[in-house]
Amino acid sequence: MLSSGEPGVFSITAGLSDRSRAGVSMNDTWNRESAGSFVEALFARHQGEIFAYLVRMLRDPELAADLTQDAFVKAYKAYDTLEKDENARAWLYQIAHRVALDHIRRRKIVRFIPFTGESPGSSPSAERIALDVQLSGPLERAMARIPERQRAALLMAEVHDLTGLELAAALGVSHVAARALLTRARESLRQALAAERAAEAAAEAERDIAYGQGLERRR
Amino acid sequence: MTLPFRRRHNDAEASHDRARALIATGFTQAVEPADAAWLDTHLAGCPECVADAAAYAADRELLRALRDQAPEPPRDLWARTAAAIEQEHSRRDRGTRALRTPRGWRVGRVPMGVASGLVVIIVVLSVSLAPRGLPLNPTGPAGGNVGEATPGSEATPIAVTADALAWIQVAPDGSYEFRRATVDTVCPDIRSGCATLAARVMTRLDLTQAPQAVVLSPTGSEIAVVTSSGSIGGAEIVVVPVPTAPTGASASPSPVPPTPDDSATVSPAVTPPSITASPSTTPPGSIGPETISPTPTIEPTGSAAPSAGRSIVSGVIVVGDTAYSPDGQWLAFSARPADGSTGPDLYLWRVGDEQATAVTADHRTFLAGWLGNQVLANTVVSSDLVVAPVLEPAGSPKPEGSPQPEGSPRPAGSPKPSAAADPGVTPDPSAPVVEEHPIAFTLDPETGITTVIAANDMWHPTVDPTGRSVVYWEGTVVSDGTGTGWALGTGRLVIDGWLDGTAEPSADATRSPNSTASGNLPGPTASGDLPVATASGDLRASPRVGPAGHPVTIAEGPGVAFDSLFDPSGLRLAVWLADPTDPAVGTLRLIVLDPDTLQIDSTIDPLPGVAALRGISIEDGRLAWVTPPGQDGEGSHVQVLGWRGREFGQIRTIQAERLFVVR
């Protein structure tokens, strides 16, 4: 049974052997408890980075929370597919990555959004503004413009510090392919950031012109 | 986006690509000495590559700075995850599919894929404009019908005063039954509360094609049945008289139904229309009025009077909604020829006429609904072309498959006829997606005057019956690739206040159609019975009519389709969002508005995202929909959410064994 409070201290291998996890069905009581403990420990250690990764991938904290939950449920279900405990982190990223891509693929759907009680035209909360700023800078917009797999590769390699092998495992590709993807991602980001900055400069120039024209009219 | 390092024939380009690749690789691993030497040599002669290297490094630093801004997960995330895991395990234990952990409004991805293959038809009728207070079934069912159980003893019912409900379902003998029910009691707990909703078979319809949508006239005396468009001959709309109240053996029969041959002699209940009806030009192969024939009821009460149907349009694909005007004088819809030769146009049928008439000719006009007794419609333009709807010349009704009028070029961005030729054509996923811009306009069916609504990118607006609120898609639309219409593009579904513009339009709000921005499109012909239309191509022209400009997001896109309906009070809003994998099913939510502020009342959430088939009906005191089969292992029901003030409860019909999802 899982604890309902805070997840326990991380102890992936406590009482578990690789062999014991293999080939045991989910309906096995022992396995259920072991899987639960295992995922609870994984959650305690990695929930922050998995959540952050999904926020960065999707630019939506609420959605990221939902998908983090999804990822750990999937980890629970796929518990016996992890061969070595030392691969747990990359394995978890792989699950989260697939969850994110699945969601992006399904995104062709209109979603109801939570009602906040905001009146039409009312000002957004300071918290919302701070979040928007955090999620809507040129870098974030540029990242949103590049292909998802490239975005994932950049985030995992540069922000989440996955090693080359971990990156390959998480992306589900060979080491060479992961490196090539990362290389393409850097170029895509360079181009996207340049485009974002150019657009921002153009908008700024437009505002200056409009401001100047306004001044002229007032004179 | 193209791959930045694809192999090129140009040696110089290939060298630059190699240099960039090596620079990028160097960030995460050591470069081979030979490669490093080559890179140094290349950089010495390539300022562009040096700049790129600097940009890579700068971008990388920017990216790595994100590590200092790690967002914090919500504190209850473990509790939610643990609960979801428990639920997952329970689901496995039960061997059934489980619901996901509640997640606000994103819940609702219920298994719906099975819906499309089942065999029952229940069409919730839009009885929206039925006469208020009409006691369709004041004394309960007459007997012999399904679902006459009384509320269970354990029920905790809520008495409601709701408008009557009507639907069509397939009888065991394969015929279609028109049923009505009165909703006077609902229960907070549908499973342990109310018994099934009592229904009465009002009449039977011998349809040869499954319905796609059915709407009830505001007079309550007839229904318009839109048949499905799956056949080669396309769909038709058949108007069928129906009993307005339960009739016993002694009840007077309905007015003598017309026969297909003498339908023109039927005296309509309204003034003859100004739009000349077309002669009967039903082409070979189309489905004529005989497709719905009067079938004497076999109900024990003999309650249903014989009915006859009259086809008012055939050989078309009806696109979007079909709706009677509030005064019951007109029926509006949009349709395109079944042969796919053109996109959709707006059609009007004056009740009593022989045929419906196309009133636009731009082949890209959709009905949105009615705004009072004005038609509310959309036309779609590409971003650089803002045009007014092109009106069909008066007195030239457009029978099915009529050719495109001479001199009417296909506007830019309209669905390609080749793609539209086959209604079942699969959109080409590799085709570029062109986002287009909808324009909403009103059209007076009596005068033909059109007025563009001052709002950008307003698609499928629904104005509440009290004229205070509007729901619409604020965004672009994209061709669905089939020629039948558009899907939602980039944007959001919003609710906003509505300025009803009771004042006279300003001088520039209406213009001669000849002055519209589209010089290459034909203007309306001011002849015959259709008055000269005026239109505006300037979105800024009509400031007094339109949204208030303070939209609140209800749902986010991109998506495929939605439906929104207000109750008569304008304070209950039903929103249905189509499932992208099967647009026949979707998620339905009831939104309650505060009566004082007209804002969304976030403190009450009586129906948070339930699975529902396309085709909903909301009226005073109740919302009705059809549940997809397969929910909890059951078939479809007509499900009703009823309310009295802020109390809500549900009731439903018995499960139907053979259900086709129609709408």
Q: Which member of B24, B63, B579 has the closest CB to residue A139?
A: B63
Cα dihedral across residues B515, B517, B522, B527: positive or negative: negative
Task: Name the residue of chain A whose CA is nearest to B598's CA.
Answer: A119
pLDDT tens profile B301-326: 334 444 568 889 988 888 888 999 99
Residues A70-78, mean pLDDT to the nearest whole number:
90
The answer to whether the Cβ–Cβ distance between B560 and A108 falls below 8 Å is yes
pLDDT tens profile A194-207: 988 888 888 778 77
Q: Considering chain A, what is the average pLDDT of its residues? A: 75
Chain B residue numbers touching A32 (CB-CB < 8 A):
89
Chain A residue numbers touching B556 (CB-CB < 8 A):
110-111, 113
Continuous segment of H or E residues that includes residue A183: helix A175-218
- A174 HSE (CA, 13 A, CB side): 3
State the pLDDT at residue A112: 65
State the pLDDT at residue B459: 93
The answer to whether the Cβ–Cβ distance between B105 and A134 falls below 8 Å is no
Is residue B158 scored above 60 in pLDDT? yes
| Phi and psi, residue B590, nearest 5° | -105, 130
Highest mean pLDDT pick, B289-293, B477-481, B507-511, B658-662: B477-481
B186/B513: higher pLDDT: B186
Residue A154 pLDDT class (50, 70, 90 cuts):
very high
State the pLDDT at residue A159: 94
State the pLDDT at residue B10: 57
State the pLDDT at residue B602: 81
Residue B198 pLDDT class (50, 70, 90 cuts):
confident
Worst-scoring range by mean pLDDT, A52-56, B63-67, B98-102, B556-560? B98-102
The answer to whether the Cβ–Cβ distance between B24 and A68 falls below 8 Å is no
State the pLDDT at residue B111: 28
Whether the CB of B77 is below 8 Å from some CB of chain A: the reply is yes
The answer to whether the Cβ–Cβ distance between B548 and A40 falls below 8 Å is no
Are the C-beta atoms of B472 and B440 separated by less than 8 Å?
Answer: yes
Q: What is the ipTM of this complex?
A: 0.76
Cα dihedral across residues A12, A15, A21, A27: positive or negative: negative
State the pLDDT at residue B458: 92
Cα dihedral across residues B416, B417, B419, B420: positive or negative: positive
pLDDT tens profile B594-608: 888 888 888 888 887
Tell the residue number behind the tokens 């929206």, with chain if given. Answer: B128
State the pLDDT at residue A60: 82
pLDDT tens profile B521-566: 223 333 333 222 333 334 334 446 888 888 888 887 666 788 999 9
Tell the residue number behind the tokens 């809507």, with chain if given. Answer: A136
Q: Which member of B1, B497, B599 has the closest CB to residue A147?
A: B1
Worst-scoring range by mean pLDDT, A120-124, B180-184, B641-645? A120-124
Chain B residue numbers touching A191 (CB-CB < 8 A):
4
Is residue B300 scored above 70 in pLDDT? no
Chain A residue numbers touching B91 (CB-CB < 8 A):
none
- Chain A closest CA to B661's CA: distance in Å? 21
Chain A residue numbers touching B599 (CB-CB < 8 A):
117, 119-120
For chain B, helix, strand, coil in percent to 5 are: 15, 30, 55
- Chain A closest CA to B502's CA: distance in Å? 23
Cα angle B465-B360-B417, degrees, rounded to a multiple of 5: 120
Task: Name the residue of chain B whose CA is nearest to A121's CA.
Answer: B550
Q: What gap in Å lies between CA B567 and CA B573, rounded to an integer?
A: 6
State the pLDDT at residue B579: 81
The answer to whether the Cβ–Cβ distance between B88 and A73 falls below 8 Å is yes
Whether the CB of B32 is below 8 Å from some CB of chain A: the reply is no
Is residue A48 scored above 80 in pLDDT? yes
Is residue A16 scored above 50 in pLDDT? no
Whether the CB of B92 is below 8 Å from some CB of chain A: the reply is yes
Q: Which member of A49, A69, A110 has the closest CB to residue B493?
A: A110
Tokens matching residue B436: 């287009």
Interface of B with A in 99-128 (CB under 8 A): 101, 103-106, 108
Residue B334 pLDDT class (50, 70, 90 cuts):
very high
Chain A residue numbers touching B21 (CB-CB < 8 A):
183
Tell the residue number behind the tokens 């293999």, with chain if given. Answer: A22
pLDDT tens profile B225-243: 888 766 567 888 988 887 7
Are the C-beta atoms of A61 and A131 separated by less than 8 Å?
Answer: yes
The answer to whether the Cβ–Cβ distance between B580 and A139 falls below 8 Å is no
Are the C-beta atoms of B391 and B514 separated by less than 8 Å?
Answer: no
Q: Which of A69, A128, A191 to mutate to test the interface with B (most CBs of B within 10 A)?
A: A69
Residues A50-67, mean pLDDT to the nearest whole number:
90
Q: What gap in Å lies between CA B372 and CA A51, rounded to an integer?
A: 50
State the pLDDT at residue B489: 83
